[in-house]
Homo-oligomer: A and B are copies of this chain.
Amino acid sequence: MADQKSKILVIGATGAIGKFIVKAGVREGHPTFALVRESTLSDPIKGKLIEDFRNSGVVLLYGDLNDHESLVKAAKQVDVVISTVGISQIADQVKLIAAIKEAGNIKRFLPSEFGSDLEYGLNDAVGPAKATFEEKIQIRRLIEAQGIPYTYVASYCFAGFHVSSLAQIQPGLPSPPRDKVFVWGDGTSKVIFCVEEDIGTYTIKAVDDPRTLNKTLCLRPPNNIYSMNELVALWEKKIGKTLEKTYVTEEEILKNIQEDSIPMNKFIWALVLLIYVKGYQANYKIDPSSGVEASQVYPDVKYTTVEEYLDQFVL
């Protein structure tokens, strides 16, 4: 087994982080499988992505979280299942766990996390962030109760979302702002960033690793820990210009969590509060009985630094 890489199945392969994990699986030489809906093939964007997967050697399996037989059949073909399903499908992973249990052959399961380190974050989480964390924690408890070997991945902030927008929390900003910026709280809390490709790499490194068995893998690249003030200052230095800053207080953010009428916005405001104001991410020591730090166990991974990442936006 030592020189045979495990077969990996990704559920949620066309999603925000799933696609990077599929690509890392292929890149790292694992036989890589993706569960996709046949109907997704005709989606203009996701269909193209699936076609790219196929061309790179990914084995496509047709199925759905709601089709138990498809899940059991898929699980039986692989060694490792990685779920990257979205927020609305966290609870539905119960169905995936039932299938993994029935299949009986899965050596490692990674449920959909790839964000906060739940049990640490929970102390400061409010509103919809708290609700989602608690839901994900129930999935953890079920996995543990069923004796399914697991790794939880705490990847903190995706660079593509947080760094590329200078934490402006607007998805799809083509580049960081060059005129003015909102700063959450006083901007001094330390936040951890990781580029999506590196999240894929670290995740795939972990799947066959006994050091990450039944542990949380925390992605804390040491050069990627910045306060918001430091992140903004780094960007200002790169573009040679000072941004106009508007400081937004904890009270104002709490008010947004209460009053914003869009559920997804409420969720994002709750994350802003947790991550940028409360600043829990770099604030705790990883307990070696339950967690390992990725850059320490995989020192060979040359991760992209925030500094390098920002260079792509300097014209």
A residues whose Cβ falls under 8 Å from a Cβ of B: 68-69, 90-95, 97-99, 101-102, 127-128, 130-131, 134-135, 137-139, 141-142, 144-146
Contacts and interface: CB of A to CB of B under 8 A. Distances in A.
Nearest to A93: B91
Nearest to A133: B98
A98 B145 contact: no
A135 B90 contact: no
A220 B97 CA distance: 31
9 contacts: A68-B131, A69-B127, A69-B131, A92-B92, A94-B94, A94-B135, A95-B138, A97-B138, A144-B145
A131 B98 contact: yes
A138 B138 CA distance: 11
Most buried by B among A69, A97, A99, A134: A134
Nearest to A145: B145
B146 A141 contact: yes
Contact of A145 (B93, B127, B128, B142): B142
In the complex, the count of this chain's copies comes to 2
Nearest to A99: B134
Contacts of A91: 91-95
- Nearest 4 interchain pairs by C-beta: A68-B131, A145-B145, A98-B134, A91-B94
Contacts of A139: 94
A101 B134 contact: yes
A38 to B, nearest CB: 16
Contacts of A98: 131, 134-135, 137-138
Contact of A138 (B69, B94, B130, B137): B94
Contacts of A130: 68
A227 to B, nearest CB: 30
Contacts of A137: 98
A61 B144 CA distance: 34
A261 to B, nearest CB: 14
A97 B135 CA distance: 8
Contact of A141 (B95, B99, B128, B145): B145
A84 B134 CA distance: 22
Nearest to A144: B145
Contacts of A142: 94, 138, 141-142, 145
Nearest to A131: B68
Given A142-B142, A146-B141, A135 B69 contact: no
Contacts of A101: 134, 138
A281 to B, nearest CB: 22
Contact of A90 (B94, B102, B127, B146): B94
A137 B131 CA distance: 23
A254 to B, nearest CB: 14
Nearest to A137: B98
